[in-house]
Amino acid sequence: MKVNMKGTLLSFMGLGAILLAGCNDKLAVLDPKGPQAQRQADDTMLLIYLMSGIVLTVLAILVFMLFKYRASKQSPDYEPPHIHGHWLVETFMIGIPVIIVIFLSFVSVKSNYIVESVPQEYEDQEPLVIYASSSNWKWHFSYPEQDIETVNYLYIPAGRAVEFKLYSYGPITSFWIPQLGGQKYAMADMVTTLHLAADNPGEFWGRNANFSGRGTAENIFDVTALTQTEFDEWVTEVHETAAPLTEEKFDELLEPGHLGKSTYTGTHLEFSPAPEHNHESSDEEKEDEEDHSSH
């Protein structure tokens, strides 16, 4: 017994040391750097406070009941009177959970609508469109406006909305930059849209949050938010120094395996376009598609 107690104590001490060692590092999802992530962090803290209040209330009631109705010095043959349910107690037991569910449903629906739309602070500007596609086990970022493509790293301008068009050249993956917003799936036969923005320049990390084979753990990418001037300078530098992306080179990049960062002029959209089915097309895009199909 002494050996087991000693082992348990050492285990808790080791766990405590690990937790304390990480106290200086903020949890990414609770360290938002963009409006979408801020909304989700606020909702997370709301849930934590609400659940903490419920747990503490239940524990307080438990302590009260244990103290008030603890064993007494009644005779062994004593039988307490049979009492039917009290209407007030039953009202609280049913009513409070119903109110909590209604409240959380309202918050969730409202938040989902907000994070699925262009960030409210950036609605008056044209977003930067980036096609983010995954393959085993890497990320390809195509900038149609800038005519640039990068692999496993992403540069975006701070203070500007970014509209990601997500799809996959392999299994379903999940595009996630924790400090900028929540994750969304990328699939092979359709395009999904994710709206994000970085309020200020900074460096973040992103990854595939969905298990997609043995290389998932290293299916990550770096994200750097630059000022608009720095972003424009980077675009100019890429066009002056990077090699063009050919179809043969892109086929090579799609081969399963891990790669470092690389940069190209041109995008694979020219010879390997994104799926035509857009899961979240805007009304204008749908009208354009109908016009093209009618012609």
Mean pLDDT over the full length of the chain: 86
What's the whole-number mean pLDDT along residues 166-170? 95
- 159, 124 Cβ separation under 8 angstroms: no
What's the whole-number mean pLDDT along residues 142-162? 97
What is the Cα–Cα distance from 284 to 265, expressed in whole angstroms? 29
Q: What string of DSSP letters covers the chain?
A: -HHHHHHHHHHHHHHHHHHHHTTTSPPGGGS--SHHHHHHHHHHHHHHHHHHHHHHHHHHHHHHHHHHT---S--TT--PPP-PPPHHHHHHHHHHHHHHHHHHHHHHHHHHHHHTS--GGGTTSPPEEEEEEEETTEEEEEETTTTEEEESEEEEETTSEEEEEEEESSS-EEEE-TTT---EEE-SS-BEEEEEE-SS-EEEEEEE-S--STTGGG-EEEEEEE-HHHHHHHHHHHHHHPEE--HHHHHHHTSSS----EEEES-GGGTSPPPS-BTT--HHHHHHHHHHHH-
What's residue 8's pLDDT? 56
For the chain, give the longest Cα–Cα distance.
95
Checking if the pLDDT of 22 tops 60, the result is no
Checking if the pLDDT of 282 tops 90, the result is no
Give me the sheet containing 220-226, strands edge to edge. 153-157, 220-226, 202-208, 173-176, 184-186
What's residue 280's pLDDT? 58
Higher pLDDT, 122 or 85: 122
128: closest CA among 232, 280, 240, 279?
Answer: 232
Q: At what angle do helices 35-68 and 87-115 cross, to 10 degrees?
A: 170
Using one digit for the tens of pLDDT, what is the confidence trace for 44-91? 999 999 999 999 999 999 999 888 877 777 777 777 777 777 788 888
In this structure, of 35-39, 111-115, 288-292, the range with the lowest mean pLDDT score is 288-292
Q: How far is CA 121 from its chain centroid?
A: 20
**Residue 137 preceded by cis peptide, ω within 30:** yes
Using one digit for the tens of pLDDT, what is the confidence trace for 86-113? 788 888 889 999 999 999 999 999 999 9
Query: At residue 86, what is the residue type?
Result: H
Checking if the pLDDT of 39 tops 50, the result is yes
Tell me whether residue 109 is exposed, middle or buried, using C-beta atoms within 10 angstroms of its C-beta: 0 to 12, 13 to 18, 19 or more.
exposed
What is the Cα–Cα distance from 37 to 33, expressed in whole angstroms? 7
The domains of the chain, with CATH numbers, are 125-280 (2.60.40.420)
Using one digit for the tens of pLDDT, what is the confidence trace for 154-166? 999 999 999 999 9
